[in-house]
């Protein structure tokens, strides 16, 4: 099988590429990535020379480029997206362009060239916040940020191409990912690297917002199952089953980095901050045999250890324009 992985230089996309190349010894991958601030070819140094892997620098909104690449592959897995809620609140235009118009460009090419499979990678945030219980694939979409709204827009567009044009679309919606190579604007790598540098950890509000955490390789395994066994037109929730408050998460990070709670800095809550995300993943478990890892604390500790051992990877990211953004955002 030949795959077009968009956004493959990002956190989840790069881990997915590595997973596929290691598992399927005859598969070939084209990685299309614009290399925005969070796209990083250092994420894929270990596969860069693999003859079954090819990198193409480009934008999924570039219809001519997409039209050139899509006929070469059997399936499209669209990881390409602007994803950070904070940035979407400050500047939403790029989110709409990439997450909606970029998805449209890929779907048009898939329709034109009769691509065998198109997977839209989405997020639990499209469902909004839930106080009790968990969202199923049939739950109403109720996004509360420009980021989640742009992802919901892409999802609905993908669904419409299945219904109207019979494009073999599948949609996955995952909970919060964590693991190696995650750009250090997201909460776990931000807090881990700040703790390692004895910098403050900016904790929103009362810290009682709840997230379900999914180890990135478990997410990759779930997408792999959907790629090979999923039913066209279906949506699959992919969760880790590890719900924890942000305050509890922060305490664990401080414990694993050997730092004290004096590093915690309470900051004003984010506008429209969702209180709790929770996914019901019975469908993918029942129909496709998905089973995530169960030891969250062990996986979090191994993630902390990875960042501690790989300063070469994240230090230069935080030392460029990243630092000024977060000093402004959190006043630290």
Q: What CATH number is given to the structural domain containing 141?
A: 3.40.50.720
The yes-or-no answer on residue 183 being catalytic is no
Q: Evaluate whether residue 83 is within a structural domain.
A: yes
Of the listed 33, 125, 218, 274, which one is catalytic? 125
Of the listed 118, 147, 215, 307, which one is catalytic? 147
Q: Evaluate whether residue 285 is within a structural domain.
A: no
What average pLDDT does this structure show over 272-282? 94
Q: Evaluate whether residue 19 is within a structural domain.
A: yes
The yes-or-no answer on residue 224 being catalytic is no
Residue 322 confidence (pLDDT) above 90: no
Q: Evaluate whether residue 329 is within a structural domain.
A: no
Q: Evaluate whether residue 147 is within a structural domain.
A: yes
Per-position DSSP letters for 24-66, written without gaps between them? -TT-EEEEEE---TT--GGGGTTTTT-TTEEEEE--TT-HHHH
Query: What six digits make up the tokens of 49?
Result: 């020379």
Q: Evaluate whether residue 305 is within a structural domain.
A: no
Q: Evaluate whether residue 312 is within a structural domain.
A: no
Residues 88-103: tens digit of each pLDDT: 778 878 888 999 999 9
Q: State which residues form the domain around 161.
A: 2-177+213-238
What average pLDDT does this structure show over 301-311? 98
Say if residues 122 and 173 touch (Cβ distance below 8 Å).
yes
Q: Evaluate whether residue 257 is within a structural domain.
A: no
Per-residue confidence (pLDDT) for residue 329, from 0 to 100: 55
Of the listed 124, 185, 243, 274, which one is catalytic? 124
If one counts the domains in the chain, the total is: 1
The yes-or-no answer on residue 46 being catalytic is no
Query: Residue 204 belongs to what H/E stretch?
Result: strand 201-204
Residue 257 confidence (pLDDT) above 60: yes
């Amino acid at each position: 099988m030949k795959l077009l992985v968009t956004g493959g230089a990002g956190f989840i996309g790069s881990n997915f590429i590595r997973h596929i190349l290691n598992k399927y010894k005859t598969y070939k991958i084209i990685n299309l990535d614009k290399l925005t601030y969070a796209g990083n070819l250092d994420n894929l140094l270990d596969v860069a020379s693999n003859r079954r892997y090819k990198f193409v620098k480009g934008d999924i909104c570039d219809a001519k480029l997409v039209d050139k690449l899509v006929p070469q592959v059997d399936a499209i897995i669209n990881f390409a997206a602007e994803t950070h809620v904070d940035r979407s609140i400050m500047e939403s235009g790029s989110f709409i362009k990439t997450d909606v118009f970029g998805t449209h460009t890929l779907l048009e090419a898939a329709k034109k060239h009769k691509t065998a499979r198109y997977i839209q990678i989405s997020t639990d945030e499209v469902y909004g916040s839930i106080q009790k219980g968990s969202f199923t694939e049939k739950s109403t979409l109720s996004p509360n940020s420009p980021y989640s709204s742009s992802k919901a827009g892409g999802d609905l567009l993908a669904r419409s191409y299945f219904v109207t044009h019979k494009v073999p679309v599948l949609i996955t919606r995952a909970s919060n990912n964590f693991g190696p190579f995650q750009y250090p604007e997201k909460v776990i790598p931000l807090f881990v690297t700040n703790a390692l540098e004895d910098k403050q950890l900016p904790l929103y509000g009362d810290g009682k917002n709840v997230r379900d955490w999914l180890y990135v390789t478990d997410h990759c395994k779930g997408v792999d199952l959907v790629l090979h066994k999923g039913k066209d037109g279906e949506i699959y929730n992919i969760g880790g089953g590890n719900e924890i408050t942000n305050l509890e998460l922060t305490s664990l990070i401080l414990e694993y980095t050997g730092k004290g709670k004096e590093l915690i800095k309470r900051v004003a809550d984010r506008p429209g901050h969702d209180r709790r995300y929770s996914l019901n993943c019975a469908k993918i478990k029942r129909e496709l045999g998905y089973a995530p890892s169960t030891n969250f604390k062990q996986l979090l500790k191994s993630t902390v250890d990875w960042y501690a051992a790989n300063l070469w990877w994240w230090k230069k990211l935080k030392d460029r324009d990243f630092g000024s953004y977060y000093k402004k955002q959190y006043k630290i």
